Structure 1
Amino acid sequence: MLVSRDIAARADQMIASCGLDSLSIFFSSQSAGANSLTYLFHHGVSEEAQHAYKDGRVFEEDPFTRVVDRTDRCGRMIRWGEDRLDRVADRATEYRQFINCHSVDVVGAWVQQVLPEFFLVIGAHCQPTGGRKSNVAHGLLEHETAAISQMVISQLFEEILAGAGGRGTLQAALAADAATPDDAAAKLSSRELEIAQLIGAGKQNKQVAFIAGISEFTVENHLRRIYRKLNVHNRAAMTAKIFGGH
């Protein structure tokens, strides 16, 4: 899979707008005994560095995928220098040797768990000279990597559906869900379900607003409508009714 032109164009624009020098987008699979890496997009990353990171198995030591919350499917930007990342990175000898050898000044990475032990990673970097890292627009970077990650996952979904048996598998799954009586999720609009999923993943209203590109006030209005439709009165009850049974 290679990212679409729209995704590549938005990534290039983000690099320029945020003050980055290089960017990598890839899938990292960390199943027991079957670790693998699939590159999707590069900007400013040498072929030598790409080869060393993948074929040299440096990605197996990448600290970013090791600190992500395994229960969070929404993804988040992890900045280089965060305490919990530092604790893991300090022990990642080969990873540190790699970034030093290839002159990579790591800014951070957006990490999203698509499936258990299967991650989408968008790594952002600067060159270690000229103090460029201090000028990175972190707020814009977080917003754009979140948007790009959803574009990548949407493309992946579309390609799976277009493959042999993909659409039939989806239709069978939808038919099974439709046969479930009193399905709470079916009572919600697609936007309301998106809000509920983010809340169920532990996001606060401010975070939901940021990811969904709406105001906190709009998030609160969506929640009130969801509560009425499901006949619940709080976030915990809403999450349990939709995702944990009635």
Structure 2
Amino acid sequence: MGDRSFAQLNKAFGKKINKDSQADGVSLLVYSKAEVAKKVSYIYQSGISQDVMFDYTQGAFLHDPYLFEASHSLAYGKTYANIQHTPEIECGDVVSRSLKYWSFLKGYNVRETAACIKAVSDNIFLIVGLSSDENNNAICFERTLNTMDDWLNESSQYLLEYCLNRTFLDEHCEIVTGAIQAQLPQLTGREGQVVQQLFQGKSNKVISAELTLSEYTIENYLRRIYKKFGVHSRTALITKIRQHSL
């Protein structure tokens, strides 16, 4: 599934969940609880202000009781779902966390939230979040549980494919960089960029768009690069770079 297909998928799920749940805000987020990279990012959102998203990603998420409970109890592949209307009376650290979370939300006139959270790995979680404003309808949570679960399953599959592809691309980029540093024929900075794009399997048209150059200019760069490496095709160039990087 490509990025465009994933965006279309998110839009379709978001629209259906928004209609069925009567929520004012719908979002899909990814959360990493790893200590070295504890953060949350929005993948999709509808009906949520930029200010809310900014404050949430900049630290308010650390006080979210949903994330705290789910990330400390969910096993891989399992899903957690809950809806909360007002701060619950709890003990210890959870009291402080819940009150800070609701203080943040009330500043934006949010009266109710709901979440469905799936553990993609031990440290990575996908979240479908819903919110309702002070003057609007309550969230019809039960109506949309199955759809939220389907959305999480589809999204987790995409993330897995994306990470695998990203790993391969990063490996290719490392090969190119290592080869250039291994005293291969001297390339200019722009030629090096073209080679990296080429190594990722991109066409001349895509490379020209990425580097904001004409296709004719890209073709000229490739001719010069081929000459420096003593080859006559993309395949031969990639093969030679691999050989030099080993």
* Category of TM-score, reference length = shorter chain: 0.5 to 0.7
1:38 is aligned, of 41, 49, 53, to 41
- For residues 111 and 79 of structure 1, the distance between their equivalents in structure 2, rounded to whole angstroms, comes to 12
Q: 1:86 to 1:115 in 2, by over 3 A?
A: farther
Q: Which runs of 5+ in 1 are unaligned?
A: 169-246
- For residues 86 and 103 of structure 2, the distance between their equivalents in structure 1, rounded to whole angstroms, comes to 19
Contact 2:28 2:126 in 1 (8 A): yes
- For residues 31 and 129 of structure 2, the distance between their equivalents in structure 1, rounded to whole angstroms, comes to 12
State the TM-score, normalized to the length of structure 2.
0.59
1:161 equivalent in structure 2: 164
Report Cα offsets for 1:160-201 as digits up to 9, x if no partner. Answer: 2333428x9xxxxxxxxxxxxxxxxxxxxxxxxxxxxxxxxx
- For residues 49 and 36 of structure 1, the distance between their equivalents in structure 2, rounded to whole angstroms, comes to 15
- For residues 100 and 115 of structure 2, the distance between their equivalents in structure 1, rounded to whole angstroms, comes to 18
2:22 equivalent in structure 1: 19
1:169-184 matched pairs, under 5 angstroms: none
Contact 2:26 2:45 in 1 (8 A): yes
Report Cα offsets for 1:107-162 as digits up to 9, x if no partner. Answer: 310011111132111111111114x11xx332222111101101111111222233
Q: Which runs of 5+ in 2 are unaligned?
A: 172-246
Of stretches 98-107 and 41-50 in structure 1, the one that deviates more from structure 2 is: 98-107
- For residues 105 and 5 of structure 1, the distance between their equivalents in structure 2, rounded to whole angstroms, comes to 29
- For residues 121 and 86 of structure 2, the distance between their equivalents in structure 1, rounded to whole angstroms, comes to 25
1:98 is aligned, of 61, 79, 104, to 104
List, as ranges, runs of 4+ consecutive aligned residues in structure 1 with deviation greater than 4 Å: none
2:125 is aligned, of 116, 119, 129, to 119
2:113 is aligned, of 84, 92, 107, to 107
Contact 2:113 2:131 in 1 (8 A): yes
1:63-142 matched pairs, under 5 angstroms: 63-68=65-70, 69-71=73-75, 73-80=77-84, 87=90, 90-92=95-97, 93-130=99-136, 132-133=137-138, 136-142=139-145
**Shift, 1:81, TM fit:** 5.3
Q: 1:59 to 1:16 in 2, by over 3 A?
A: same
**Residue 56 of structure 2 aligns to a residue in which SS?**
helix
- For residues 128 and 138 of structure 1, the distance between their equivalents in structure 2, rounded to whole angstroms, comes to 17
Contact 1:23 1:45 in 2 (8 A): yes
1:50 equivalent in structure 2: 53
Report Cα offsets for 1:60-92 as digits up to 9, x if no partner. Answer: 111101112232522121121599x75365322
Letter in 1 for 2:75: T
Of stretches 30-39 and 145-154 in structure 1, the one that deviates more from structure 2 is: 30-39
Percentage of identical aligned residues: 14
Contact 1:89 1:96 in 2 (8 A): no
1:145 equivalent in structure 2: 148
- For residues 112 and 86 of structure 1, the distance between their equivalents in structure 2, rounded to whole angstroms, comes to 25
- For residues 75 and 158 of structure 2, the distance between their equivalents in structure 1, rounded to whole angstroms, comes to 23
Q: 1:164 to 1:112 in 2, by over 3 A?
A: closer
State the TM-score, normalized to the length of structure 1.
0.59
